[in-house]
Amino acid sequence: MDNIAGKKSSLTWAVHISVVVLVLIWLFPTLGLLVSSFRTGDQISTSGWWAAFSTQERQEPATRLSGEEIERDGMYVIEGDLFANRDAVVSAWGTSARDPSAYAPGEAVDLGDGDTLTFNADGTFTLAGPDSFEGERLPRVFATAASPPEFTLRNYENVLFSDTAGAGVGQSFINTLTVAIPATIIPILVAAFAAYALAWMDFPGRALLVAAVVALLVVPLQLALIPLLQLHNAIGIGKGYIGTWLAHTGFGMPLAIYLLRNYMVGLPRDIIENAKVDGATDFQIFTKIILPLSFPALASFAIFQFLWTWNDLLVALVFLGTDDETLVLTGRLVNLMGSRGGDWEILATSAFVSIAVPLVVFFAMQRFLVRGLLAGSVK
């Protein structure tokens, strides 16, 4: 009964559930990265991103008191604020690691020799004693404090506009755009002409060229990197953006020609023949008919090529090097992992910056993706 016309298959729900599960598997890490990119380093290190919107209570690291000493009513007093840079509410505190929650906020504690310490809920403290504290080692405080949710744009300021300690990725972001945009446009332009010729123009050896294009799809790019770099050095290109664009163009050309040719072959022949009867040349047919009708295939390849060149590391390292002036975003992230492995807010923000542009490109052009990929598969 499941195959009766007008009734949906019993597998429909399974397909829908599978799609939802796959979307959630992809969405949760991305959402977590986005939330973490706006959090402070302290909150990232103490709780997961799913707890970012709730109050966080944690055991603060032991902090030794410090401050300027003043004399008041015959007593030497040191006052300060341990949480001057953030909002926090102390629920318990202590002066020993054995019992870090021994005292309540506001309670005055006798430290011996007439010294007293009062630690308040807002993080302010008062240390008083009959003798001067100069030259003495002040006590440590262990506090349990609750911090409200805290979000900041400082992470993005540091990542995009600062080069302090290698934290900034602004130049690498521009370098990646400089590589990805031309490396996406150039192969599309060249492959579109080649695909039209292989689809609609009759000439000797056309079938062999199509077979060669298909064969080149399985050639790993790693085999050609060093010979190609030697060729660039021999002809005077060397390491630079031109060599990188040509390398990406060469490696992306087989897929582009194969994809566009399959799509163009499926276009109505009557349109092409009518245009030829009206006296249109091949170039006019290509620019005024084929290209507008082939936009879904062009967009499909543009998505793949842009994502590949944007996320590429190997080709960029070979043809651009590791200099800070030419280092791409993926290379910068690798350096950040090594030099700033403890600065989770910097890493999270940098990672989200690196995926933001591909996400925009994908969602802007994804409606053409399926149409372009399925082109030529059904006659």
Q: Is residue 316 part of a domain?
A: yes
Q: Is residue 272 part of a domain?
A: yes
Q: What is the CATH number of the domain that holds 251?
A: 1.10.3720.10
Q: Which residues contact 118 (CB under 8 A, 6 or more apart)?
A: 106, 107, 108, 109, 125, 126
Q: Which residues contact 8 (CB under 8 A, 6 or more apart)?
A: none
Domain shared by 20 and 61, yes or no: no
Indicate the residue among 101, 126, 147 that finishes a domain. Answer: 147
Q: Is residue 3 part of a domain?
A: no
Looking up tokens 């341990």 gives 82
Closest to 65 in 3D by CA, of 144, 145, 141, 143:
141
Q: Which residues contact 159 (CB under 8 A, 6 or more apart)?
A: 167, 168, 169, 170, 346, 349, 350, 353
Asked whether 330 and 311 are in contact (CB, 8 A), the reply is: yes
Asked whether 217 and 255 are in contact (CB, 8 A), the reply is: yes
pLDDT at 379: 44
pTM above 0.85, yes or no: no
pLDDT at 178: 92
Q: Is residue 1 part of a domain?
A: no
pLDDT at 8: 58
Domain shared by 29 and 87, yes or no: no
Measured CA to CA, the distance from residue 373 to residue 379 in angstroms comes to 14
Indicate the residue among 127, 147, 167 that finishes a domain. Answer: 147
Measured CA to CA, the distance from residue 245 to residue 178 in angstroms comes to 9
Measured CA to CA, the distance from residue 321 to residue 210 in angstroms comes to 35
Q: Which residues contact 175 (CB under 8 A, 6 or more apart)?
A: 320, 325, 326, 327, 328, 329
Give the number of domains in the chain. 3
- Provide the domain limits for residue 38: 12-53
Asked whether 252 and 183 are in contact (CB, 8 A), the reply is: yes
Domain shared by 143 and 164, yes or no: no
Domain shared by 221 and 365, yes or no: yes
Q: Is residue 90 part of a domain?
A: yes
pLDDT at 163: 60
Q: Is residue 7 part of a domain?
A: no
| 10-residue stretch averages of pLDDT, the chain, 379 residues long | 55 85 87 88 80 81 87 88 81 87 89 88 89 86 85 84 64 90 93 90 86 85 83 83 90 89 87 87 88 86 90 88 83 74 77 86 74 52
Q: Is residue 205 part of a domain?
A: yes
